Amino acid sequence: MRPDDRVRQAVRCRRGGDSAAAPAPAAAAGYYAPVTVSEFIPAQSSRRGAETEYRVRLGDGRTLACLGLGDPVGSPVLYFHGFPGSRLEARVAAAAAGRLGLRLLAVDRPGFGESAFQPGRRIGDWPTDIAALADELRLERFSIVGVSGGAPYALACAASLADRLAGVALLCPLGPLAIAGSTAGMVTHDRVLLALAARAPPLARAVAHLLAHWIRRGPDQCLEFLTAGLDSPDRDLFADSGYRSLMTESMMEAVRQGGRGAAWELTLIVRPWDFRLENVHIPVSLWQGLADQILPAAMARRWAARLPACDSRYIAGEGHLSLVVHRISEALAELRPVDLGR
């Protein structure tokens, strides 16, 4: 075995006939066609698109888990999941990526899914992991889409890895919570949990562990709690059994290792970030629903102005979850290389 083979672990290739693979959404015609129920309904194995699982060993011995979706030979786009989430969340974008000729690579953050926990990690540590992942997958340049709680990590990469990035898109992004008024308009349980994380981190971590236990034992009931208080259009998505299944699977995968990853990240995101928004000089596109009750538009407006090159789109009638479902195709389309967009 060559030395580099010892650190490159691309394991468990999942293909159409693999009964262990979870379903990928079926393709629909048109780049900007709204996502339909059929894109989330679990498909038979003969309709299942290719998914490839990667495991990359890092220099400190940790392992990063990454799921490949969409066009396996397309231009690479890294997908950073929300909180609590996992690489499986990216299945919501698989059909769009395939139509657009993009190779979607969804990465579990440390302590989530199958990525090893990293004690004491900071948001600013993530670009080092991503650079190592990109090297192992032989990605010279790539784009990033950061969804919800994945946005801080996308911005950290934009600040540190600008020379390797072809584009960055943020959807319903989490912003710095240290900015006054950031939680105004949030659903009550989210606002209370974040306040607890800021003022009593050990207690907040204990709550996160309890939530992780609940997710593992009763995911449907926990999902009902986490989405309580949401209005249409976010609430309406869960009438679609396929979408509900997709989100439940991602949430359960997020706590595969227990609650340690979620507990650490909960208290991490409420601290001042360890990089400056003003140091993000590459163009960033920001997509925000005006009906978002989880991360309200007011939060995005407060911090997006600090980005030197931010193109913000505030969309009426879209919530937090619905924005991703209905606008992911447009966001990904803007990340395509020019020659693919003709």
**pLDDT band of 180, cuts 50, 70, 90:** low
pLDDT for position 340? 55
Residue-wise pLDDT tens digits, 139-156:
999 999 999 999 999 999
Evaluate if residue 37 carries a pLDDT over 60: no
Cβ neighbourhood burial of 163 (10 Å; 0-12, 13-18, 19+): exposed
pLDDT for position 339? 62
- Give CA–CA dist 131/141, Å, rounded: 10
pLDDT for position 296? 93
Nearest to 196 by CA among 212, 185, 187, 207: 207
Residue-wise pLDDT tens digits, 311-342:
999 999 999 999 999 999 999 999 998 665 44
Evaluate if residue 74 carries a pLDDT over 50: yes
Q: What is the mean pLDDT of residues 202-206?
A: 94
pLDDT for position 280? 96
- What is the radius of gyration, based on Cα positions, of the chain? 19
Q: What is the mean pLDDT of the chain?
A: 84
pLDDT for position 252? 94
From residue 277, how far is each of 273, 288, 307 by CA, in Å? Answer: 9, 18, 6
Instruction: Read off the pTM.
Output: 0.85
**pLDDT band of 48, cuts 50, 70, 90:** very low
Q: What is the mean pLDDT of residues 136-140?
A: 95
- Give CA–CA dist 235/59, Å, rounded: 43
pLDDT for position 24? 34
Q: Give all domains of the chain, ordered by start, each with its CATH number.
A: 3-341 (3.40.50.1820)
**pLDDT band of 49, cuts 50, 70, 90:** low
- Give CA–CA dist 259/273, Å, rounded: 22
